[in-house]
Structure 1
């Protein structure tokens, strides 16, 4: 890989890392990125620029240029914008971001985000951590960096970006009805350090005050707890259909069967009844924030 001088404002480790690896099992993603890479190569060649010269012009290494042109690397928005400017593409390369951004996250994450974007009601019980929809970027990063075997910095960045993007569910209009039950232990654990914990608690207070959100905490001293089998997720849609999943039921697989959904709904309703009320929860989180 040829080292090049990074552009002003760009971190050194970003100079040769302008994108993410393409999942070979993601057929749609491969097709999109291959097409973008081919267009980039054709325009570069038409401009009479060799890869080393083009790399220096856009501020990225040769190896990354080859990977993007071969459809093996997902380019970032700023890379496409810079390439468009250098090659005089008149905005066509920059416009490719509209397609690229749809496949920049892993296939499974895109499928989940699609369901969340369509749901009119979402119910979540999270048994061991703050749920992904509620996580701050710093909290999510700390969680991914703690996993074993360790992810690369590139993988962590991609997963954090995907998780943060899912939070757009809070900005939908009309807004879906959202309910969350979190464990007290997860809020007390200082993932990423005290400052990260404080920002995460502040985020929970922000979300918990939204009119379409019901946020509850399951206290540690609860003597009866119906969520010991693990996480529960319930998503309901405008056409009356629903999908649910639980770590401790139906082999942990998503289910749309009515009898299975009734079991999950019963468990979730019981957990909510056992947890602190939304008002009590906001008071509790505020007190916990004062202790950190």
Structure 2
């Protein structure tokens, strides 16, 4: 098993800990619809999303394709809040990543996230769409 895969799997253990962090995810609908791997792999990935979505500390919502453009469109962004309540933004784009801790940038990212969740499907409708996409792959 490649080192990167082992590290990725080790990071997932945090989600299975006795006291896992709260995880709130908004996925673009295109991620569910685009075939980035063989059908069986895509089905397994979608099934994993559904399994994670049943955890009480996890929320997975889908942003519809027709949603308005937003600040976080350029790549992946994660809002991370430490136990001391300090929040930073981890941004990832093609071949780059960084941590933003400037309060102004953090507030802008938090507002953008709030706007995304306002346009995203409900948790239940998101699960229905993920299930539908998984079934379409059979």
**Same fold by TM-score greater than 0.5:** yes
Query: Which of 71, 74, 83 is the equivalent residue of 1:229?
Result: 74
Change in 2 beyond 3 A, CA 1:166/1:252? closer
Higher fraction of strand: 2
**How far apart in 2 are the matches of 1:165 and 1:190?**
26
Does 2:73 match 1:209? no
The size of the alignment, in residue pairs, is: 134
Q: Which residue of 1 aligns with 2:86?
A: 241
Ranges in structure 1 where 5+ consecutive residues have no aligned partner: 1-153
Q: Which residue of 2 aligns with 1:277?
A: 122
Query: Which of 214, 218, 234 is the equivalent residue of 2:63?
Result: 218
Task: Report the RMSD for the aligned CA atoms in angstroms.
Answer: 1.9
Query: Which of 99, 113, 122 is the equivalent residue of 1:268?
Result: 113
- Quote how far apart the aligned CAs of 1:256 are: 2.0
- Quote how far apart the aligned CAs of 1:285 are: 0.7
Does 2:10 match 1:165? yes
Residues 149-204 of structure 1 deviation map (CA, whole Å, 9 limit, x = unaligned): xxxxx7xx111111121111211222211011112111122333011111111101
Higher fraction of helix: 1
- Quote how far apart the aligned CAs of 1:272 are: 1.5
Which of the pair has more CA radius of gyration?
Answer: 1
- Quote how far apart the aligned CAs of 1:232 are: 1.4
Larger relative contact order (Cα-Cα within 8 Å, sequence gap ≥ 6): 2
**How far apart in 2 are the matches of 1:252 and 1:163?**
16
- Comparing 280-289 with 252-261, greater Cα deviation is found at 252-261
